[in-house]
Amino acid sequence: MRIGVLTAGGDCPGLNAVIRAVARSAMENGDEAIGIRRGYRGLAEDDLIPLDMRTVSGILHLGGTILGTSSFEPIREKAVDRVKETVDRESLDAVVAIGGEHTMEITRRLHAEFGLPLIGVPKTIDNDVAGTDFTFGFDTAVQIVTDAIDRLHTTAQSHDRVMVVEVMGRNTGWIAAYAGLAGGADGIVIPEVTTTVEEVAAGIQRRHDRGKDFSIIVVAEGAKLAFAGGEERLIQPVKDSDEYGYPRLGGIGAALATELESRTGYETRVTVLGHVQRGGTPTSTDRILATRYGAFAYELAKAGDMGKMTALRGSEMVAIPLPEAASIKEVDLSVLEIAKRFFS
Ligand code: F6P
């Protein structure tokens, strides 16, 4: 068999571990793995590289993707014919597409409407792909944010300050909720739950009244700035959207900090973690998860089980139909409820 592998959408720690797992599984079984450069663009432009022992050696611990990535959409770019030609010319029996929820939707359509032999592997630090319990990259991002919160505690405590930490999560607050819980945050604001500025300020005041002179508030970039009067604002640095049409986000941390300082009178500072959360070496948990995803994707390819996405359900790897994956998975609110017990 000849199995193609591509990475699409934003990068994410663990992508290389998946690539390596597909390639090494193929080698182990006498099959061939081929790397497709820069997502679906590589299929449209026939930009492929062999994934042999040399190419995939020494990449397990590396962040990013050795294949490069892009958000190229063959259907929108009217490039499906070129993609099909490459698949035929290169005799690819299957292509493993590693990407987020949007890539899963593109992959679903390319399989269902154009008959391409595709298998999806979900990736995102945001952990918001439906159908799977956890995506690789999430654990690494949570660890990075938790480390940051730990460090911010030092200054918060020493200076009696309120520290607002803005984290990624454009649609959902998984990173904010998990890292907030792990880091002992005193307030967590996420897109799924409307939390007003007044509520957060009251929480900070309660802490002060109980003798706690500092507070750490974690806010997801996709959360709206909400007020008790009912006004809600999505904060964007510039009114712009990315290739997928998603709004570019950022700035909620600063906006929230300004509102909290004026309401509480306590010095409030903001830290925006940005792409630091997506960079660097994956945690061991993510390396293992990514390797399991890649190894299982190979099994599906070998079995000719196309149009599926590899998913983690409990501790099991399962194959689910791609349509089940093409939507957003919101935060398990029970996690937030537990975190709330430690707010004041
Ligand atoms: O999807 C992952 C994510 O990290 C989002 O949380 C964030 O909004 C987005 O990527 C940023 O993407 P880009 O690097 O394209 O600005």
What is the pLDDT at residue 72?
Answer: 96
In this structure, the number of other CB atoms found within 10 A of the CB of residue 255 comes to 18
pLDDT band at 224 (very low <50, low <70, confident <90, very high): very high
Q: In whole angstroms, what is the distance from residue 324 CA to residue 318 CA? A: 13
Q: How many helices (H) and strands (E) does the chain have?
A: 10, 13
What is the pLDDT at residue 236?
Answer: 84
What is the pLDDT at residue 92?
Answer: 98
The bridge status of strand 48-50 relative to strand 32-36 is antiparallel
Ligand 1 centroid from CA 330, angstroms:
16
Q: What are phi and psi of 7, to 5 degrees?
A: -120, 130
Ligand 1 centroid from CA 32, angstroms:
32
The four Cα atoms 23, 27, 31, 36 give a dihedral, to 10 degrees, of: 20
What is the pLDDT at residue 34?
Answer: 98
What does the pLDDT look like over 26-52, one tens digit per residue? 999 999 999 999 999 999 999 999 999
Catalytic residue among 126, 128, 139, 286: 126
What does the pLDDT look like over 323-342, one tens digit per residue? 998 789 999 999 999 999 99
Question: Which residue, among 246, 297, 307, has the nearest Cα to 109 in the 3D structure?
Answer: 307
What is the pLDDT at residue 119?
Answer: 98
pLDDT band at 241 (very low <50, low <70, confident <90, very high): confident
What does the pLDDT look like over 131-170, one tens digit per residue? 999 999 999 999 999 999 999 999 999 999 999 999 999 9
Q: In whole angstroms, what is the distance from residue 125 CA to residue 110 CA? A: 24
Q: What are phi and psi of 244, to 5 degrees?
A: -85, -5
The HSE-up count of residue 156 (CA atoms within 13 Å, CB side) is 25
What does the pLDDT look like over 159-175, one tens digit per residue? 999 999 999 999 999 99
Atom number of ligand 1 nearest to Cα 128? 1
Q: Is 47 a catalytic residue?
A: no
Is residue 6 within 8 Å of residue 43, measured between CB atoms?
A: yes
Q: Dmax over Cα atoms in the chain, in whole Å?
A: 71
Atom number of ligand 1 nearest to Cα 242? 15
Ligand 1 centroid from CA 159, angstroms:
32
Average pLDDT rounded to a whole number, residues 177-199: 98
What is the pLDDT at residue 248?
Answer: 83
Query: The tokens of 120 are what?
Result: 């999806």
Is residue 27 within 8 Å of residue 39, measured between CB atoms?
A: no
Q: Share the mean pLDDT of the chain.
A: 96
What is the pLDDT at residue 245?
Answer: 73
Average pLDDT rounded to a whole number, residues 99-107: 95
What is the pLDDT at residue 112?
Answer: 97
What does the pLDDT look like over 204-216, one tens digit per residue? 999 999 999 999 9
What is the pLDDT at residue 340?
Answer: 95
What is the pLDDT at residue 238?
Answer: 74
What does the pLDDT look like over 288-300, one tens digit per residue? 999 999 999 999 9
Amino acid at 177: A
Atom number of ligand 1 nearest to Cα 168? 6
pLDDT band at 246 (very low <50, low <70, confident <90, very high): confident
Question: Which residue, among 305, 320, 271, 65, has the nearest Cα to 151 in the 3D structure?
Answer: 271
What is the pLDDT at residue 242?
Answer: 74
What does the pLDDT look like over 252-274, one tens digit per residue? 999 999 999 999 999 999 999 99
Q: What is the pTM of this model?
A: 0.96
Q: Who's near 334: CB < 8 A, 6+ residues apart?
A: none
Ligand 1 centroid from CA 173, angstroms:
13
Is residue 201 within 8 Å of residue 260, measured between CB atoms?
A: yes
* Residue ranges around ligand 1 (CB below 6 Å): 10, 100, 124-126, 168-170, 221, 242, 249, 278
